[in-house]
Amino acid sequence: MTKGKNPMHNTQKTTSRMRGCFHIALEHLEPRSMMAAQPLTSLPLDPQSLDGTGNNSAHPDWGSTVEDLLRRSSVAYGDSISTPSGADRPNARAISNALAASPDGGITNNRDFSAFVYAWGQFLDHDLSLTDTGSPRESFSIAVPAGDTSFDPASTGTKTISMSRSAFDPATGTAIGNPRQQVNSLTAFIDGSQIYGVDVARAAALREFSGGRLKTSDGNLLPFNTSGFANANDAHRVADSQLFLAGDVRANENPELIAMQTLFLREHNRLAVAAAAGNPSWTDEQLFQHARRMVIAELQDITFNEFLPAILGDRSPASLALAGYKGYQADVNPGIATEFSTAAYRLGHSMLGEDIEFLDNNGNEVHAAMALRDAFFNPTVVGETGIDPILKYLASDRAQEVDTKVVDDVRNFLFGGPGQGGFDLATLNIQRGRDHGIADYNSVRVAYGLPRLTSFAQITGDKSVQDALAAAYGSGPEAMNKLDLWVAGLAEKHLPGSSLGETFTRIVVDQFSRLRDGDRYWYQNVLPADAVREIQKTSLADIIRRNTQLTNMQSNVFYFRTSIGGNVFADRNRDGQRQQKEMGLAGTIVTLVDATGATVATSKSNARGDYIFAGIDLGSFRVVVSPPGGGTAVTSRTVAITRGMEIRNNDIALAPPASVSPPAQIAPPAKRPQPAPPSAPRPAPQLAPRSMPGVRNAAFAAIGTLAVPGAPKR
């Protein structure tokens, strides 16, 4: 999220117009399997370069470092050359105030995203793109509206939010036919550059040069940056030497990102150790490149088989379009589009939560929660807790909705008290799009093959968002052609089964299709079939389990789906077990209570006696049932939600009043009985119930009462 100056990218390439011929001298890998180190018939490619050069034989600079960002739409600079766009658009902070202010408690994602969606999104972003601040700096600060409660409470009308323009290719921005083009300091490829770096010096500083391993510090954490490499340290909470060192300069931005960086450092070393054990003759270089290639393959596979299906919708047309790999296409440029990096892929900013928690294997808090605003460039807490509690939290917390809203911790981040300065991430995103000369929303839609829209109602059916767009941009017909891409893209109605609207979906699918199809080193193109199968069986949850002490995680950590459900039935023989003729009780009041007895939610059983509570947080719960005719409320045993899990057989037995004789004592009828109707079918669960220590997943009878307000006592 935060830009950082990285002069090290010039080690191999100086500018996009001055290409070096420098390549790392790497030993060839022996013909061994990349997963199990078994013999192979061939390995078609040498190890890929750090800076991305040479991936495409005909166009060796495509996707490499210090390449111009691509444009899929026409430029919209004020002078058609270099001055920022949007001079006729509203103030960026005013737009943020109108559309991005998040309500108290936020708006939870309606598709059960876990916090891993935005955490992976940022981790991946630091593999794909970095646009540095220009040198010398060009100020492009944002005027704060007078009376802004956070940044100008004294109504001085003189406050600003500081921002500088992005670095650009010096050979551009000279004429109308040669507009300014910003530069990507990283490789475009999904190639682990956030882990390994993109230049020789940084890459060497990260390696042990023994056994193919990467360096670590105490606690099996990232090494510290004791050699003074470029590292972002915007908050200056700790000295530069107390920051961790990784492949990307932004690695210390927050504890969640540090945890992800550390996880894949450990995975690299795990793979290197395993390969060394099976291949004692391999050199350090061979072991390093083996582990590196496998880590890259894992990054590629998780992105395409877990992350993208989450945000695009698992069975959506967009996901299906990305599902089938047709092989390397040498005519596809994988370069990063500015519409992607400067607008669409900043969708993750709307998913951020307000804090970071630290949880043990069963979801219990082990360290006080930290406000997000206190977590920026604060690596100290990772040294205190390790990465396990952070990864468990990411798998167990819900992301915010993908919309125009941004939590206060990054929208009204203050450097001191109100009026003492700070930043607004939403405002910066809007202003950055104008810095890059990105065209208006409608023009970008047309560039991506979508029709122009003529009303806010076509963007979203949410009347409050329509009104906010009108309040920010105006209500006349010209307003539709002034919309900033980041704002309108997030405001769009989501496609069915997806968390993105059609414009951002087009941009995301275009970018990731090119990243895969234009990468000669894509894992499905270079690895043998058995290695590909092993990679595709490996989930992010698997990698976490292999490299931490965490064992209690859902199989897909990009979702946090929880529910407790079951059936309320008439226990006519009072044995606590449901028999064939014991029918469900419709319309029964069912209450979910937490460990303190506080009511979490209340519902009624349906016509079959079924009930379900979904979207439950971690914790211990009981279900309280109030008999339809009054009487003593009964409860289930305690059910613990310790990870993403769906418990669907928490059945509750209600015995008839004591005056009613049990059915076993009733004499058989004189006439031949008709066959008893079968029990009503139970709804099919979305996921099979999971067995867990301390969680009873079998049906059970009520065993007691709870002090629930309004519930009669025994």
Q: Radius of gyration over alpha carbons of the chain, in Å?
A: 29
C-alpha of 668 from chain center: 62
Residue located via tokens 């139970």: 682
Structure tokens at 401: 């909705």
Residue located via tokens 């806010």: 456
CA dihedral 437, 439, 441, 443 (to 10 degrees): -170
* Separation of alpha carbons 133 and 123, rounded Å: 20
CA dihedral 499, 501, 505, 506 (to 10 degrees): 170
Residue 224 pairs in a beta bridge with: 244
Amino acid at 539: S
Among 71, 4, 69, 115, CA closest to 348: 115
Say if residues 372 and 352 touch (Cβ distance below 8 Å): yes
Among 611, 566, 589, CA closest to 709: 589
SS3 category, 613: strand
Q: Kindly name the residue from 9, 126, 290, 349 that is annotated as catalytic.
A: 126
Residue 126 among the catalytic residues: yes
* Separation of alpha carbons 26 and 287, rounded Å: 11
- How many residues are recorded in the chain? 714
* Separation of alpha carbons 112 and 401, rounded Å: 9
Amino acid at 342: T
- Give the other-Cβ count within 10 Å of 709's Cβ: 9
* Separation of alpha carbons 680 and 606, rounded Å: 11
DSSP class of residue 306 equals I
* Separation of alpha carbons 88 and 180, rounded Å: 20
Amino acid at 17: R
Say if residues 403 and 488 touch (Cβ distance below 8 Å): no
DSSP 650-685: --EEEPPPTTSPPGGGSPPPSSPPPPPPPPPPPPPP
| Phi-psi domain of 518 (left: phi exceeds 0; alpha: psi -120 through 50; beta: other) | alpha
| Phi-psi domain of 196 (left: phi exceeds 0; alpha: psi -120 through 50; beta: other) | alpha
Structure tokens at 266: 């450990």
Residue 371 pairs in a beta bridge with: 355
Amino acid at 29: L
* Separation of alpha carbons 157 and 572, rounded Å: 75
Q: Which residues are catalytic?
A: 126
